[in-house]
């Protein structure tokens, strides 16, 4: 699978940005939920834009969230409808997942809708379906592992300036209080080290 994915067009399969520009992207999966306004408040406090890969079913339950993400200058991507692995779905079911979530998100400023497969599970078939729908596949290069680390200080250490490299795409999840608590530490550390924090679309724009 890795060999096949390496042959995908670079502008449509993104997992990191340029290594010679001190710029990184914060990305958050699995929203929106009740913590979303607090995440947005933290990011706004530091003047930082991020990319949110949202789930269709949660977006359906919180239809105003998309406009709020966009109003605050963030990028929206799809994370499927209900977090099923794309590799476990039939081609028809996958297309349905993508279409339903796309309809709930609506038009996005960057034109193409970015998609991040749940769990990063993707093979040539799934990639071909996403590309055929015109999507950009957005992966990551640094996993915070916030799904297994509940200590904010330890989580922040995994994303410290001496760990993060220029061009990195950092993976987080909205559904954790400890990620929310660690976020100011992560942002302050990276900004203090001279990193620019941008959306994935802006990370590869130049």
pLDDT by residue (tens digit) across 75-95?
A: 999 999 999 999 999 999 999
Task: Give residue 10's pLDDT.
Answer: 66
Helix axes 91-105, 124-132, angle to 10 degrees: 40
User: For the chain, how many structural domains are there in total?
Assistant: 1
Q: Mind listing the pLDDT tens digit for each residue in 3-62?
A: 345 455 568 999 999 999 999 999 999 999 999 999 999 999 999 999 999 999 999 999
Task: Give residue 109's pLDDT.
Answer: 87
How far, in Å, CA of 39 to CA of 110, rounded?
22
Is the pLDDT at 104 greater than 60, yes or no?
Answer: yes
Residues with a known catalytic role = 29, 173
How many other C-beta atoms lie within 10 A of the C-beta of residue 18?
A: 12
Is the pLDDT at 128 greater than 90, yes or no?
Answer: yes
Q: Give yes or no for a contact between 81 and 55, defined as CB atoms under 8 angstroms apart.
A: yes
Task: Give residue 123's pLDDT.
Answer: 96
The pLDDT > 90 percentage for the chain reads 90
Average pLDDT rounded to a whole number, residues 133-138: 96
CATH of the domain at 56: 3.20.20.370
The pLDDT > 70 percentage for the chain reads 95
**CA-to-CA separations, 38 to 35, 42, 45, 85, in angstroms, rounded:** 5, 6, 11, 28
Domain encompassing residue 23: 2-203
How far, in Å, CA of 142 to CA of 188, rounded?
18
Ramachandran angles phi, psi of 52, nearest 5°:
-115, 120
Is the pLDDT at 164 greater than 60, yes or no?
Answer: yes
């Amino acid at each position: 699978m890795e060999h096949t994915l390496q042959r995908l067009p670079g502008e449509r399969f993104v997992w990191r940005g340029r290594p010679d520009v001190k710029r990184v992207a914060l990305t958050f999966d699995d929203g929106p939920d009740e913590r979303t306004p607090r995440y947005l408040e933290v990011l706004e406090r530091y003047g930082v834009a991020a990319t949110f890969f949202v789930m269709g079913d949660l977006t359906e339950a919180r239809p105003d969230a998309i406009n709020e993400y966009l109003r605050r200058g963030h990028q929206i991507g799809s994370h499927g409808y209900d977090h099923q692995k794309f590799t476990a779905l039939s081609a028809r079911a996958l297309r349905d997942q993508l279409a339903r979530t796309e309809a709930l998100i609506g038009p996005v400023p960057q034109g193409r809708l970015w998609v991040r497969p749940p769990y990063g599970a993707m093979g040539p078939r799934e990639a071909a379906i996403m590309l055929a729908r015109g999507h950009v596949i957005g992966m990551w290069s640094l996993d915070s592992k916030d799904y297994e680390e509940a200590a904010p200080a330890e989580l922040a250490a995994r994303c410290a300036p001496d760990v993060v490299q220029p061009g990195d795409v950092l993976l987080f999840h909205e559904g954790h209080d400890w990620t929310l608590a660690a976020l100011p530490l992560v942002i302050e550390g990276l900004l203090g080290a001279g990193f620019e924090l941008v959306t994935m679309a802006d990370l590869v724009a130049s």
